[in-house]
Structure 1
Amino acid sequence: MTDTTTPSAAPVVHAPVADTRLLVPLALFALYIIWGSTYLGIHYALESYPPFLLAGIRFLGAGVALFAFLRLRGVAMPTAIQWRNAGITGFLLLGVGNGLVCFAEQRVSSGIAAVAVASMPLFAAVFAGVYGEWPSRRETVGLVIGFVGVVVLNLGAGLSGSRLGAIALLVAAMSWAFGATWSRRQDMPAGPMNTAAQMLCASVALLIVGFAQGEQLPAHPTTRATLALVYLAVFGSIIAFSAFLYVLKHARPALATSYAYVNPPVAVLFGVLLVGESVGPYDLLGMAIILVGVGAITLARQRR
């Protein structure tokens, strides 16, 4: 998922470090806010679009647009190995990960989906440990605090879902975590081309699964569902996914996956503001604990 090559010429050695110190926080902010809102976006889009075709159209449109833009700007095509790695990673992250979230949101609310996916950093820490990159002691403390916050948030949400939906969300979190960890050690396309290649490959898999299951495109989709689909493609896919790949390349796994802890309270807040959902004391306490956990992870990164 990340570019493993290094620049052939780097006359100013410290410039990338300075850029990273600015861009990593900006990218994390995009992940926290945009991806927190995509759960509600999926909820709206599912009013008209079936789950796997929804995800497939989303990534096909975003992938084609970004790929065409990059090619027009002269960005090189990925090599055969890079296409293979992007295909595997895109299938794990977007095909299985996002596809199953869309599938699960037919059965559970957007809030419970965000809460369940928040288990992803723990799986990512385990998979990273298999490759010898165990989280530091401070990062482990932050991960545990964040997960406790998610549990508290779930207690206050009063949400319930089907067993099938819960299993789908758990598999989605595991697949995303493994894909993110595996890709860090592979030869991936450079920069935004990595995003485009993964979305194109994932869209093919999602469309095949959708049509194979008998899903059909809506003849008369609602305006809100279509606008939600466009939002998911532009902001959730092109902007936020590019930000995720950047953070994954330039930050430790614990920080790169910390968005999964922030997304649940963001999803709840969007539900309050846009859908009129209520927030109780457990919700507020859970959000506070989550933010403490993310702060611990961030401080651990700065002290390394």
Structure 2
Amino acid sequence: MQVITSPATSTPNRATLWGNLISVYILWGSTYLFIHFMTEQMPPLYMVSIRYLIAGSILYGYARLTGTPSPTRLEWRSAGIIGVLLLTIANGCLSVGLQYIPSGMAALLGGLLPVYLLTLNWISFGRKRPSNLALAGLTVGLIGIYLLIKPDKLQGTGGIDAKLIGVGLIAFGNFAWAIGTLLTPRLTLPAGAISSGIQMIVGGIATLVLSLILEPVTPWSILDAPPKAIGSMIYLVIFGSIIGFSSYSWLARNASPQLLSTYAFVNPVVAMLLGTMFAGEVFSSQSFMGAIVALVGVVLITLGRK
């Protein structure tokens, strides 16, 4: 799912606008919990690959049936590169990382994507110095990360080393997501749903290859998945990949970038509440303090963008 920052071209209907916003807020915030449910008894990379192969095939087939032209070889290659970065690496790291840390903490770390985008755009892609407000947000965000993941305050079922592995995986995944996001406007991509479909198909195939190498699975292991994992995967295919992404794409075309970026503030809150209510996840008072400080940093970065 690539970040698009096209300006609004008209004033959208408020009910449609808020309907799509709530969809992104709730559905994307809930995906962390359902990824946890999907992978708690099944190999994570394998389940991620099946999810994206199904969702990508549906999106690609729908786009072609509704008249979208067949992509060129260059468009396939460009969308495939983005798919590997965003889905194979970033979401693959997230799914594996959720085996080690609570889903709410993973969502908060994912919500810090603006920190990665600002830093990479400053030192590499755009060579643009951020505003002073954005730099202040970067500093506050880093302090929040420290408070959130400080080893002696981490709570959960695993040890300190396990949780540091989880945090490291998600941090690396965020790095890959930021690179994919910054590359997106620099590559030749097909328009609309067919681009998302290609990203999911290529990302799903690459993830499946990794799964077959690293995990004890076969291409048919989905037949052995428990009902909870299957149900969670269906939820993620429909509500996370298809409906959630469609809402995000509509907002990218019709809402301001500032309004669109608010999902980074809301998703972690939704994920932490759901994780506490339905997965028995426990957070220390320092973790909650770190979450609040980190989100303040994200808000400052967003407000300080030039």
TM class by smaller structure: 0.7 to 0.9
**Does the 8 Å CA contact 1:115/1:150 hold for their aligned counterparts?**
no
For residues 191-243 of structure 1, the C-alpha deviation after alignment (integer angstroms, 9 at most, x for no partner) is 22221111111111011111122432254432222111111112221233345
Q: For residue 125 of structure 1, what is the aligned residue in structure 2?
A: 118
State the distance in 2 between where 1:220 and 1:293 align.
44
State the distance in 1 between where 2:189 and 2:13 align.
20
Task: Note the C-alpha offset of 1:64.
Answer: 0.8
Q: For residue 207 of structure 2, what is the aligned residue in structure 1?
A: 206
Is 2:60 the counterpart of 1:76?
A: no
State the distance in 1 between where 2:288 and 2:4 align.
39
Q: For residue 82 of structure 2, what is the aligned residue in structure 1?
A: 89
Task: Note the C-alpha offset of 1:258.
Answer: 6.0
Which of 155, 172, 189 is the aligned partner of 1:158? 155
Task: Note the C-alpha offset of 1:56.
Answer: 0.6
Instruction: Give the CA RMSD over aligned residues.
Output: 3.5
Which of 87, 94, 109 is the aligned partner of 1:101? 94
AA aligned to 1:197 is I
Q: For residue 231 of structure 2, what is the aligned residue in structure 1?
A: 227
AA aligned to 2:228 is R
Look up the SS of the partner of 2:9 in the other structure.
helix
State the distance in 2 between where 1:3 and 1:260 align.
14
| Contiguous gaps of at least 5 residues in structure 2 | none
State the distance in 1 between where 2:109 and 2:8 align.
39
Which of 17, 31, 48 is the aligned partner of 1:55? 48
For residues 43-79 of structure 1, the C-alpha deviation after alignment (integer angstroms, 9 at most, x for no partner) is 1011333111111111111111111112111122222
Task: Note the C-alpha offset of 1:103.
Answer: 1.7
Is 2:303 the counterpart of 1:273?
A: no
**Does the 8 Å CA contact 1:110/1:267 hold for their aligned counterparts?**
yes
Q: For residue 168 of structure 1, what is the aligned residue in structure 2?
A: 169
Is 2:129 the counterpart of 1:137?
A: no
Task: Note the C-alpha offset of 1:138.
Answer: 3.2
Distance 1:29 1:124, change over 3 A: farther
Which of 240, 243, 246 is the aligned partner of 2:244? 240
| Contiguous gaps of at least 5 residues in structure 1 | 7-13
* Identity level (%): 33
Distance 1:292 1:116, change over 3 A: closer
Task: Note the C-alpha offset of 1:25.
Answer: 7.2
Q: For residue 11 of structure 1, what is the aligned residue in structure 2?
A: none
**Does the 8 Å CA contact 1:146/1:290 hold for their aligned counterparts?**
yes
Tell me the TM-score normalized by structure 2: 0.79
Mean CA deviation greater in 26-35 or 115-124 = 26-35
| Larger RCO, structures 1/2 (Cα 8 Å, 6+ apart) | 2
Distance 1:197 1:119, change over 3 A: same
**Does the 8 Å CA contact 2:31/2:240 hold for their aligned counterparts?**
yes
Q: For residue 45 of structure 1, what is the aligned residue in structure 2?
A: 38
AA aligned to 2:59 is L
State the distance in 1 between where 2:262 and 2:145 align.
12
**Does the 8 Å CA contact 2:4/2:252 hold for their aligned counterparts?**
no
For residues 151-203 of structure 1, the C-alpha deviation after alignment (integer angstroms, 9 at most, x for no partner) is 44556763445244333222211111111111122221112222111111111
**Does the 8 Å CA contact 1:2/1:194 hold for their aligned counterparts?**
no
Look up the SS of the partner of 1:190 in the other structure.
coil
AA aligned to 1:179 is G
Which of 112, 116, 130 is the aligned partner of 2:105? 112
